[in-house]
Amino acid sequence: MKNEDIGIKILTKMLMKLVYKIYFLLRKTLYASLKIANKQYKQLRSDLNKNFVDFSVRLLIKEKKDYIFSFFIFTFIVFIITSVLFVSNSVKRDLLLSVQNGGEVIVKNSKSGRYTSATDEEMDDILQINGVEDVIGMVDGYYNFTQDRRVFHIVADNDLNDTSMIISDDVARELKSFKYEKEFNFLVKDKAITLNIDKILESTILTNNTIFVNSDNAREILEMDEDEYSFLNVIVPNKDEIENIALKIARLYPNLIAIPDYELKSDYEHLYYYKGGIFMILYIVSLVSFFILLKNQISAIYGSRRKEIAILRSMGFSIRDIILVKFIQNSIVAFAAYFAAIFLSYLYVFVLDAPLLRNIFLGSGVEDIVFTPVVDIKMLFLVFVFTVVPYLAAILIPSWRLAIEDVSEAMK
């Protein structure tokens, strides 16, 4: 009996080992099969997606005449909007930079409603106000170039010596037309101040029509005394005291106009506000064009493309497939138009210097000015949201409504 029990135990162990081996072999085989099936499924799904996209693109190419109008109108709309934004952001950036480089409070003297010079006495008194760290007197003004009835902006720069000056390239072209290529004679009272052209700057919002000279020369050209300044930059370390110090200056000298830098920044921020005149007209034109585009697309969907959707349904396309086809087609049109418009507007503004549009922003008297490239990603994203998204929605919603209709009704 003992030998029989031992034999049974040995046989049982052998059977258990065999069962375990079969189990692990089947599990391994099953996992391998599932892995292969999953890979084949993914490949099949990928092929189907590629074929689906390929079908959508081919259908778009076949119907390209129906989409060309939409493409050009969409490009025009985004081009107008982004061009205006590029110019306004560039101008604002340069103007705000000029405020940042100055003091926290800008003080100007006025007499009979007109700006006049500030003096050392006023500067010293302002410097005594608690909270004021320093007061810097600035010298600038305008020189009348009588030979061409033009006015040049004179700005003092103490880094220059008494015999040199720096001019913008628009001033250089103007002087060159009168044979002033290396030096220029400023005519003041009964003498002439001759200065050498040391450097020519690119014309921007800050340097256009500007000549930089030494402060002593600037005073002579502008006929100002040594203790006189065009305006004062008041340095205030504590930002919370700016408004209070501006009020103290106004009380100390009622004839002085103290302007906090945040007021100037606010004015520059709203310089090309969307409600202002010509900009409102540009936005209205863009809005009307956009509605024309949407109307054209919706009319096309309810017209010639209605039967197309019905044919796709009859071929076995589901509602989801039809919406996806329309989404792919119109996404290609919208994205292509959007990025093409941004590229063209960037070239138009920052390479060609925005002809025509430049005159709307800066006036007809400003020529050959160079705009500083400024690209606001947040603003471009908002343009995308308010143009591409409504465009796609205006296409997909009518397509969905037609796709759920009875095929026989749509074919009539």
pTM score: 0.72
* 99 CB burial (10 A radius; 0-12, 13-18, 19+): middle
pLDDT of residue 100: 73
Banded pLDDT at 272 (limits 50, 70, 90): low
pLDDT of residue 2: 45
Mean pLDDT of 130-139: 92
pLDDT of residue 276: 47
Q: What is the pLDDT of residues 380-403, one digit of tens each?
A: 888 888 888 888 887 777 777 776
**In terms of pLDDT, which residue wins out, 410 or 97?**
97
Q: Which residues, in sequence order, are bridge partners of residue 152?
A: 143
pLDDT of residue 410 exceeding 60? no
Total number of residues shown for the chain? 412
Q: What is the pLDDT of residues 15-51, one digit of tens each?
A: 566 656 665 665 666 566 556 545 544 553 454 456 6
pLDDT of residue 184: 93
pLDDT of residue 126: 92
Q: What secondary structure letter does DSSP report for 111?
A: E
**In terms of pLDDT, which residue wins out, 307 or 256?**
256
Banded pLDDT at 229 (limits 50, 70, 90): very high
**Torsion, CA 256, CA 259, CA 260, CA 263, rounded to 10:** 160
Q: What is the pLDDT of residues 243-255, one digit of tens each?
A: 999 999 989 998 8
Q: At what angle do helices 2-62 and 319-346 cross, to 10 degrees?
A: 60
Continuous segment of H or E residues that includes residue 123? helix 120-127
**Torsion, CA 107, CA 108, CA 112, CA 114, rounded to 10:** -150
Helix (H, G, I), strand (E, B) or coil at 179: coil
Angle 146-149-153 (CA atoms, 0-180°, nearest 5)? Answer: 85
| Paired tokens of 316 | 């076995």
pLDDT of residue 12: 63
Closest C-alpha among 210, 209, 196 to residue 162: 196
* Helix, strand, coil tally for the chain in percent (to 5): 60, 15, 20
Least confident of 20-29, 161-170, 237-246, 346-355: 20-29
Mean pLDDT of 90-111: 83
Quickly list H helices, 303-318. 304-314
Banded pLDDT at 343 (limits 50, 70, 90): very high
Q: What secondary structure letter does DSSP report for 160?
A: S
pLDDT of residue 214: 93
Average pLDDT, the chain: 79
pLDDT of residue 41: 42
Cα–Cα distance, 130 to 137 (Å, whole number) = 19
Whether the Cβ atoms of residue 294 and residue 141 lie closer than 8 Å to each other? no
Closest C-alpha among 93, 105, 94, 223 to residue 154: 223
Main-chain phi, psi angles of 196, to 5 degrees: -85, 145
Q: What percent of the chain has pLDDT over 70?
A: 72
Closest C-alpha among 158, 166, 162, 115 to residue 138: 158
pLDDT of residue 142 exceeding 80? yes
Q: What is the pLDDT of residues 170-213, one digit of tens each?
A: 899 889 988 898 999 998 887 889 999 999 988 887 888 899 99
Cα-trace Rg, the chain? 37
Closest C-alpha among 156, 180, 152, 183 to residue 168: 152
pLDDT of residue 354 exceeding 90? no
pLDDT of residue 23: 54
Cα–Cα distance, 229 to 385 (Å, whole number) = 50
Whether the Cβ atoms of residue 170 and residue 367 lie closer than 8 Å to each other? yes
